[in-house]
Amino acid sequence: MSGTRLCLAFVLLASFSGARSGWFFEQNSSSIEASSRAFLEKLSDAAIERTHHTVRYDSKYVRIPYPGGDVAADTGVCTDEVIRSYRALGIDLQKEVHEDIAANFGSYPNRARWMLEHPDRNIDHRRVPNLMVFFSRKGTALAASMTPEDYGPGDLVTWDLGRGVPHIGIVVDRKSRETGRYLVVHNIGEGPKMEDVLFHWKITGHYRYYGPSQH
């Protein structure tokens, strides 16, 4: 994210049901193993828990410890909500992304996009384009369709907010009363929110990532 905001500030209001919909874990169970379904459910829960935190949007470059480093708990951007949700499940995206970039630097956009010649474990995992490559390499890249039923809790979605500004969020197991679509936990400037924004911007990526143990 360096000094450039990866997510535009925008206030969106969405009403949602407080109960688990159960569609993804019950109706779609045949296509995903039980252990994977359980993981996605936990990731969805971790993302929902993030909405109880107050986070001031701040995209400044910050030096952080490694591994397990994080910016101040009351600051962050869209990627930090994904990172913190996975950390709640014992998965350190800072470490996983850094190790893969260090071993496969040419596969990532660091040189072309940011004119970098080496990995930077302070920021690499906090950049949406890097996460898109990482989830494609180490997870599963799925269709970026306009069909709501193709998305389930625990899925990762990336968007282009316009003019090439990237954004990322986690689909969670809550549905909008108005549209029936799964809601998304994301931070677009007002802290972590759970909103009906799946198709609000152009979708650029759709992924599932279960952690390093599955690779």
What separation in angstroms does the CA of 87 have from each of 17, 19, 181?
A: 26, 24, 26
- Class (C level, CATH) for 23-214: alpha beta
pLDDT tens digits, one per residue of 33-75: 899 999 999 999 999 999 999 999 999 999 999 999 999 999 9
Confidence of residue 188 (pLDDT cuts 50, 70, 90): very high
User: Does residue 30 surpass a pLDDT of 80?
Assistant: no
The two structure tokens encoding residue 115 = 């004119």
The two structure tokens encoding residue 108 = 């990532």
Q: Which of 24-28, 29-33, 53-57, 200-204 has the weakest average pLDDT?
A: 24-28
pLDDT at position 2 is 43
Asked if 194 and 175 touch (Cβ cutoff 8 Å), the reply is no
pLDDT at position 88 is 98
pLDDT tens digits, one per residue of 75-104: 999 999 999 999 999 999 999 999 999 999
What gap in Å lies between CA 152 and CA 190, rounded to an integer?
Answer: 24
Task: List the Cα angle 212/35/31 in 5-degree steps.
Answer: 105
What separation in angstroms does the CA of 57 have from each of 8, 66, 149?
A: 10, 22, 31
> What's phi and psi for 7, nearest 5 deg?
-135, 130
Residues 6+ apart with CB under 8 A from 22: 173
Q: Where are the domains of the chain?
A: 23-214
Pairing between β-strand 75-76 and β-strand 56-57 as defined by DSSP bridges? parallel
DSSP 20-76: ---IIIIITGGGS-HHHHHHHHHHHHHHHHHTTS--EE--------SSS--S-TTEE
Average pLDDT over the chain reads 89
User: Does residue 148 surpass a pLDDT of 80?
Assistant: yes
pLDDT at position 31 is 56
Q: Is the peptide bond before 148 cis (omega within 30 degrees of 0)?
A: no
The pTM score is: 0.86
Confidence of residue 214 (pLDDT cuts 50, 70, 90): low
Q: What percent of the chain has pLDDT over 90?
A: 83
Confidence of residue 10 (pLDDT cuts 50, 70, 90): very low
What gap in Å lies between CA 59 and CA 5, rounded to an integer?
Answer: 6
Question: Which contiguous run of DSSP H or E holds residue 79?
Answer: helix 78-87
Name beta bridge partners: 195.
184
Q: Which of 9-13, 53-57, 124-128, 194-198 has the weakest average pLDDT?
A: 9-13
pLDDT tens digits, one per residue of 96-127: 999 999 999 999 999 999 999 999 999 999 99
Q: Span 188-196, mean pLDDT? A: 98
pLDDT at position 213 is 76
User: Does residue 209 surpass a pLDDT of 50?
Assistant: yes
Instruction: Give the chain's end-to-end CA distance (angstroms, integer).
Output: 27
